[in-house]
Amino acid sequence: MVPVAERSSSPNPLTRARDAVWHPTPGSLRLLALLGVLGNAMIVATGGAVRVTKSGLGCPEWPRCTGDSLVPTHSAEHPALNMSIEFGNRMLTFVVLAVGFLVFVAALRLRPRRRALVGWAVAQPMSVVAQAVIGGIVVLTELHPASVALHFLVSPALLVFCVILWVRAGEGDAPPRPLVGPRTRRLAAVLLVACGAVLVAGTVVTGTGPHAGDADSRRWGFNIEDVTRVHSALAWITVALTVATAVVLHRTDAPPAARRRVHELIALELAQGAVGYVQYFLGVPAPLVVLHMLGAVLMWIAAWRLALSLRDRGPLTRPAEPKPVTATKQTPQPA
């Protein structure tokens, strides 16, 4: 058997990639988990590109792109660009599924095995499959806003698994020890709920506005200004809760990691708010819609990282190195 040190130092990138999955270390598993986070954030952005380019029905069938082809083909009813954008988003789903499967295999192969990590890892490929099925429902319902909203919201739900695995892969398995008081933990929990409410309200705004995925797709019958105000109010409530959390963390001398996380979240919220107001006053230009959707999931990731930084599960214990076997000197025996 090849020693771990030799496998990790191989100059062949394919060998190193294989070993990261088949002979994982805590570091390589955490890297794979980070790829899962990035992949699921990116698929939100590409999904936004599908919507703003009116490519939601670029591939009018599912799981095939058209009635007789898995891939985009010439069609008089669907422009080639729209078909390519929608098909590209579908292909990215398979990439994210592959990453999720590799994460699961690495979690199974990690020695010593950590059952909690296996549980968080198995949820990832299963959730991506659910996402693909919901994507098919979106196409078959011709972009009904309820199915489109569900399709988007599955990604933040999946990101919860990805972020927790990413964080847990770098810490120990001791029972969680709170690093702040119960009031601060409750405040962080309310902040997570507020972030989730902003995401839900954002799907209603998108389903009511001009970027519903296709020129003929159904929209919600709400007044766009009313739902935008609700979305904006929830966003301001989230900012207020984040600032309150930052104040409490500083006054209670919370760990530096927690204070860094809350500063990151405030910065993302301010940037997200700026993008939101600019796109509103400019008539919701397509590139800013995609940027706003990406900002939304980055905020969600930051909020969960903040919540997870308020407890400690001890240091990551690494397996002991095997002791070298030395030959023992034999004492001559009398004949």
Task: Based on the fold, state whether residues 193 and 47 are members of the same structural domain.
Answer: no
pLDDT > 90? residue 216 = no
Q: Is the pLDDT of residue 20 over 50?
A: yes
Query: Pick from 141, 171, 201: which residue ends a domain?
Result: 171
Residue 331 lies inside a defined structural domain of this protein: no
Give residue for tokens 């954030």. 41
What is the overall mean pLDDT for the chain? 86
pLDDT tens, position by position, 244-274? 999 999 999 899 999 999 999 999 999 999 9
Quick check: 237 pLDDT over 90? yes
Which residue reads 């660009």 in tokens? 81
Positive or negative, the CA dihedral 173, 175, 178, 184 is positive
Q: What is the pLDDT of residue 319?
A: 55
149 plus 183 within the same structural domain:
no
Enumerate residues 6+ apart whose C-beta is below 8 A from 329: none
In the chain, DSSP assigns E strands to 177-178, 311-312
Look at residue 3 in the predicted model and tell me its pLDDT: 46
DSSP state of 283: T
Long-range contacts of 257-265 (CB under 8 A, 24+ apart): 257/309, 258/179, 258/180, 258/306, 258/309, 258/310, 261/302, 261/305, 261/306, 261/309, 262/306, 264/302, 264/305, 264/306, 265/299, 265/302, 265/303, 265/306
End-of-domain residue from the set 133, 153, 171: 171
What are the distances in angstroms from CA 68 to CA 35, 55, 62, 77?
A: 34, 19, 11, 15
**pLDDT for res 181:** 94
Q: What is the pLDDT of residue 37?
A: 94
- Residue 320 lies inside a defined structural domain of this protein: no
| Same-domain status, 215 and 131 | no
State which of 53-57, 219-223, 248-252 shows the largest mean pLDDT: 248-252
Query: To 10 degrees, the CA torsion angle through 80, 83, 85, 88?
Result: -120
Q: Which structural domain range is residue 307 located in? A: 179-314
Which of 114-118, 140-144, 166-170, 197-201 is predicted with the least confidence, judged by mean pLDDT? 140-144
Tell whether 5 is covered by a domain. Answer: no
Write out the two tokens for 79.
């422009």
Q: Are 54 and 167 found together in one domain?
A: yes
pLDDT in tens, 32-49: 999 999 999 998 888 888
Q: pLDDT at position 94, please?
A: 87
Residue 287 falls inside a structural domain: yes
Place of tokens 């930051």: 302
Rg from Cα positions in the chain:
24
In a domain, 46, yes or no: yes
Same domain for 226 and 282?
yes
Q: What percent of the chain has pLDDT above 90?
A: 48
Packed helices 145-168 and 26-52: angle between N→C axes, nearest 10 degrees: 160
Q: Which of these three, 125, 148, 171, is where a domain ends? A: 171
CA distances from 108 to 3, 95, 102, 316 (A): 19, 20, 10, 17
Calpha distance 277→287 (Å, rounded): 14
Structure tokens at 161: 């698994």
Query: Are residues 155 and 99 part of one domain?
Result: yes
Is the same domain home to 74 and 202? no
pLDDT at 149 over 60: yes
Whether residue 165 is found in the same domain as residue 185: no
pLDDT score of 326? 53
pLDDT of residue 213: 64
- Calpha distance 69→122 (Å, rounded): 32
How many independent structural domains does the chain possess?
2
Per the domain annotation, does 8 fall within a domain? no
Band (334; pLDDT cuts 50, 70, 90): very low
> Is the pLDDT reported for residue 7 higher than 80?
no
Q: How far apart are CA 172 and CA 314, in angstroms?
A: 5
- Are residues 153 and 39 located together in one domain of the fold? yes
Across 68-96, average pLDDT: 81
Higher model confidence: residue 266 or residue 11? 266
Long-range contacts of 149-155 (CB under 8 A, 24+ apart): 149/200, 149/203, 149/204, 149/206, 149/207, 151/47, 152/44, 152/47, 152/199, 152/203, 152/206, 152/293, 153/199, 153/200, 153/203, 154/127, 154/130, 155/40, 155/43, 155/44, 155/47, 155/131, 155/297
* Res. 215: pLDDT tops 70: no
Q: What is the pLDDT of residues 287-318, one digit of tens each?
A: 898 999 999 999 999 999 999 999 999 988 76
For 14, the 3-state DSSP assignment is helix
pLDDT confidence tier of residue 52, bands split at 50, 70 and 90: confident
**Claim to verify: residue 20 and residue 167 sit in the same structural domain:** yes
> 29 and 150, same structural domain?
yes
Count of CB atoms within 10 A of residue 53's CB?
Answer: 19
Q: How confident is the model at residue 1 (pLDDT cuts 50, 70, 90)?
A: very low
- Specify whether 151 is located in the same domain as 235: no
Judge whether 291 lies within some domain.
Answer: yes
Q: Is residue 11 part of a domain?
A: no
pLDDT at 130 over 70: yes
